[in-house]
C-alpha cells in the first residue's frame, strides 16, 4: 500500500477546519478520508508554528521568489553601462560644439 502524500493546501484546509472547532476531529477525518491522529498532528504542528509566523521577524520571501537570475542582472548592467558611456560621449560632443561657438 502506497503512502499518501498530501499537499500543503489540503493540510491547511483540514487544519483550519479543525481549529474552527465546528466539527469534531473524527468527523473531519471521515470527511477528508484522513486518520484522526494525522489531523491532530497537523494541528499541533500548525499551532507550534504560529509564534514564528507572527513573531518579530519580518517576512522574507523564499530565494526563488526574491532572486532575479544573476545573468539577467549582469546583462542589464552591461546594457546600462554601454548606454551611459554613449550618452557621456554625446554630451561631451554637444558641450564642445556649444563651447566653440
State pTM to two decimals. 0.52
Q: How far apart are the first and last CA of the chain?
A: 90
The CA distance from 30 to 7, in Å, is 18
pLDDT in tens, the chain (101 residues): 677 888 999 999 999 999 999 999 999 999 999 999 999 999 999 988 888 877 766 666 566 555 667 788 888 899 999 999 999 998 888 888 888 76
Q: What is the second-level CATH architecture of the domain 1-58?
A: Orthogonal Bundle (1.10)
- Coil, strand or helix at 38: helix
The residues spanned by each domain of the chain are 1-58, 60-101
Amino acid at each position: 500500500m502506497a503512502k499518501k502524500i498530501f499537499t500543503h493546501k489540503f493540510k491547511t484546509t483540514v487544519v483550519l477546519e479543525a481549529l474552527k472547532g465546528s466539527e469534531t476531529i473524527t468527523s473531519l477525518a471521515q470527511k477528508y478520508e484522513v486518520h484522526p491522529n494525522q489531523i491532530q498532528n497537523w494541528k499541533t504542528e500548525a499551532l507550534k508554528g504560529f509564534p514564528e509566523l507572527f513573531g518579530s521577524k519580518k517576512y522574507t520571501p523564499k530565494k526563488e521568489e526574491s532572486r532575479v537570475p544573476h545573468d539577467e542582472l549582469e546583462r542589464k548592467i552591461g546594457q546600462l553601462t554601454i548606454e551611459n558611456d554613449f550618452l557621456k560621449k554625446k554630451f561631451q560632443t554637444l558641450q564642445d560644439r556649444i563651447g566653440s561657438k
